[in-house]
Amino acid sequence: MKRWIITAGLLLSCSLQSHAVQLSLNEGWKFIQQDVAGGESLSFSDSAWRTLDVPHDWSIEGEYDASNPMADACGYLPAGIGWYRKTIPVKPEWKGKYVEIAFDGVCMNSTVWANGRKLGDRPYGWSSFAYDISDLVDSANSITFAVRVDNEKQPSARWYTGSGIYANTWLNIKDKVHVARGGIFFRTLEVDEAKATVQVSTEVVGDPRAEVSHQLFSKDGKKVAEGFQTLEIEQPKLWSVENPNLYTLRTLVKSGGRVVDQVDTRVGIRVVEWKAETGFWLNGKNVKLRGVCNHQDAGPLGAAVPEKIIRYRLEQMKAMGCNAIRTAHNPMTPEFYDMCDELGLLVMDEIFDGWYQKAEHDYGAHAFAEWWDRDLTDWILRDRNHPSIIIWSVGNETKGEEMGRKLVERCHELDPTRLVTSGHSAHEVMDVFGANGGSEKLGFFDTLETDQPFVGTENTHTFQVRGYYRTKTWYRNGYPSTRHNPHYYPDLTDEEVFTYDWIDEADRAHPKHIFFSSYDNATVRLTSRHNVEMIRDIPRFAGSFRWCGYDYLGEAKYHGGWPFKSFSGGAVDLANFEKDLYYMYQSQWTEKPMVHILPHWTHPAIKPGTKIPVQVYSNCDEVELFLNGKSLGIQNPGKTHDKMACQWMVGWEPGELKAVARSNGNVKIEKTMQTAGAPAKLALSVDGEPLAENGKDIVQLRVAAQDEQGIFYPYGENRTWFHVIGPGRIRALGNGSPVDIEKHQGVDNRRAFFGLTRAFVEASGENGDIAVLASSILGERKLVYSNRVSIDSKLIALRGKLPATSIEIFYTTDGSEPTEQSSPYKGAFTVQPGTTVKALVVLNGKPVQVLEERFASDVGMVWKSSVQGSSVPAGEQAERAELNGASIVSKGQFRGEGFIKFNGTPGAFVQWYYENDGDSGDGSLVIRYGGVAAKGKGHRIKVMMNGETVSKNLLLPNSDKVGQKWSVVKVPIQVERGANRIRLEPLTEAGLCIDEISIR
């Protein structure tokens, strides 16, 4: 069908006679998670398939498993192939119209059929696309759609992608003459306080003589302008971060004497500038970008994130003080941009990760060369009218100036109003120089020589696990590090204060299997506070996007892999619980008075009197800290990174910490932190908006462990069971833990992580009140500091009123199954180590929950880990690499879970994937090896880096006592940004052993 760009026409005042209709196709799809022969056939029977609604992500429904091919990169979840089918009746009024089926997102390698006819393929998992089915509608009384989704080859990305139709689906019915998909382009030409001039171009399908006009309406529905290609608005209300004013552009298409199409597009009027000397400007105001990078997934919900949760997360970031989001490393679903428009969040909209292979089976490896132009075009046409989008980004830690130039040129053709950047990819040909981790290096800005505007596309990289603290500074690559050149940050104490951990050091399978401190002292090169200071004080630094806003599934390699399933770099965890870091940003980036204390004040494993660094974040003028009513002094939050947190060294004693924050001598806000006893009860609350009064909806239920006095117990790790009363269900469960590998969906219970559990509860759409019963057996699992056990059941109304209920609890302590003849629960009781407590919860005379909790020395967190985590940077373990002609040995002394031994097989090799989030440059490959060659001075190997030979015949001198001691050899290498592959090939006989490599 031909298309025409219409730039002028007659002003239309007649009414719309042919209505465009958009219908949701989300409900009632049939689904099977396997490949089937003939699934596209009209006569195929899908009666045995599961019925579900989309958006849908089948991977997140599955079990975590170390053997799943998604592996560490994509979070150890199942992938595979899935089929969807849906049949709809054709209404008579659709015939003779233009009809298309549209998909906002399918991951990945989708093929779509309608009535057995193939409509097309789309390999990229983050493109929105549509297919014309007009002729089928004209000739049939029903349409059966079949969608095959192939995400079998893994890893298909470097992070969790999800699998399936993870976004909305639509049926669009229009006149044959209509505005093309993505065919409207609104741009601001000139603007001042008195007047704005905007231009609209329109692409029309079906009639080259169609007449087009436009009307512009304010938020309150008042028409403020009308015309053809150019509109003038008197006293325009500009779109900004503080006041995200939006207008509605109404486009009317007239053909054959009647209005045949009407399209409403939400737009904003604003002026964006980028300046090399001073960074980013919006409407003539210099604005620092206080950004975060985010992936598509939302932890337990996977990639199919409900719109309410997307909005909640964006509002959560806005409340933190964030004003910008980078869509890493792919476009988000369309509603994300609508919400950013509404909330006043700036967007760096990113389309691709690599322009060549990074992950083994990613888009860059198999489809980029053929599909990049189509995907980039669809992306820009879809997104270019959003005022929130201030810049395009076309790649991340990839390379190729020629490819980069093509991408930039194509962006400019489709949208000449926005500049283009990348995450440190061919920056020489970008409009704006975007740099990732390399920009965190000590002295980076002192040596930065460019006439381009500069932005930190991934800066800074720090790690933290909610509720976990260490006083010793930790660097991912060690300190000092010649290649990473990190800033120096002193330890908070000479000796480590905290000893609790998720595992004992002696049982740690991998040296990277560690949690990270919430003091903002676990970093790669730069702390978060230092980054805030640099953004504020360096004029040419436009701002940065921290990696990342939220923890996300995948890239577990950075943490040693299984059982770690996720990346712990967010200010908020996988379950949308804020970390201490969240409040640091809030103290620096917001004005509403706030104060936050860290750490908590429950420390049973710490000797009384031990000095604990107590830090307070606040945006007020001064903070006074009290311990048990006694003032410990007043401090003023400072401007430099080392003074942003007020800090007192406080001798540990139980009781109450209270921070009183004042401005201009007046108390603005107070915060208390109290010492908790053993966990004894649950507290239920809702985060974000409650359930809607009717219809389908979702809500976030927070479950907090408390002691008998209602004080939050920060070590809580007991399991909570959930029972929904009314027309609802548990959509997903989580807790924010990076090492909890239980299923998120299709389950009714979850263990707490540092005191908190999350339940996502979904209303089915039927009428009726909805409530949730949450129940738990509570106690300190190891019984080290308390042997008291309590059982608690709590009800919370999520829609309507609480039902009339009678709750009875019966329990056993001998491991037997509880019945209504078992001991009735009357209050807390004591148990001995090795006891399994089981409980039956009876609701209105009906058993609804069976609870179980074991209390023993071999369960639960470790209170006193035998050895503190090593400060020696962990290497890349050989036993977790790709192997051929080698076996894994797990006896002896080694790092990780074992070492490898080559068996003399021809073609043997070991290959590692190494991700470099810093600059490219010189480095050293350190090989930790052992073995004595039968002949000669040692074993010889071929060393390859990214397919290039580094050393043809490297000698590894004989090293005896394999499994007892190891030798090392260093090889000079060139490390590329992003994906690197290191390959070692033995050139001699069997016997060479490799423990690990490291890149320095």
What are the phi and psi torsion angles at 429 (to 5°)? -105, 5
Query: CA Rg, the chain, in Å?
Result: 30
- Please tell me the distance from the alpha carbon of residue 660 to that of residue 104, in angstroms, as a whole number: 49
Q: Which two tokens stand for residue 308?
A: 């309410």
Report whether 920 contacts 976 (CB < 8 A). yes
Report whether 674 contacts 711 (CB < 8 A). yes
H or E stretch at 286: strand 285-286
The terminus-to-terminus CA distance of the chain in angstroms comes to 57
Report whether 425 contacts 388 (CB < 8 A). no
Give me the long-range contacts of 67-72 (CB less than 8 A, separation at least 24).
68/154, 69/154, 69/155, 70/154, 70/155, 70/160, 70/554, 71/154, 71/155, 71/561, 72/554, 72/555, 72/556, 72/557, 72/561, 72/562, 72/564
Report whether 519 contacts 470 (CB < 8 A). yes
Q: Which of 40, 61, 397, 533 is catalytic?
A: 397
Residue 901's DSSP bridge partners are 887, 993
Opening angle at CA 233, ends 227 and 236, nearest 5 = 155
The SS3 of residue 697 is: strand
Q: Which two tokens stand for residue 477?
A: 């690559």
User: Closest Cα partner for 895 from 555, 480, 476, 512?
Assistant: 512
Task: Say whether the peptide bond before residue 599 is cis (omega within 30 degrees of 0).
Answer: yes
- Please tell me the distance from the alpha carbon of residue 169 to that of residue 53, in angstroms, as a whole number: 10
397: annotated active-site residue:
yes
Report whether 57 contacts 163 (CB < 8 A). yes
The SS3 of residue 137 is: helix
Q: Which amino acid is at 362?
A: D
Q: Which two tokens stand for residue 815?
A: 């491991």
- Compute CA 958 distance to the chain's CA centroid, rounded to the nearest angstrom: 47
User: Closest Cα partner for 172 from 384, 19, 379?
Assistant: 19
CB under 8 Å to 796, separation ≥6 — which residues? 684, 685, 686, 701, 771, 772, 774, 802
SS3 per-residue string spanning 58-79: CHHHCCCCCCCCCHHHHCCCCC
Q: Please list the active-site residues.
A: 397
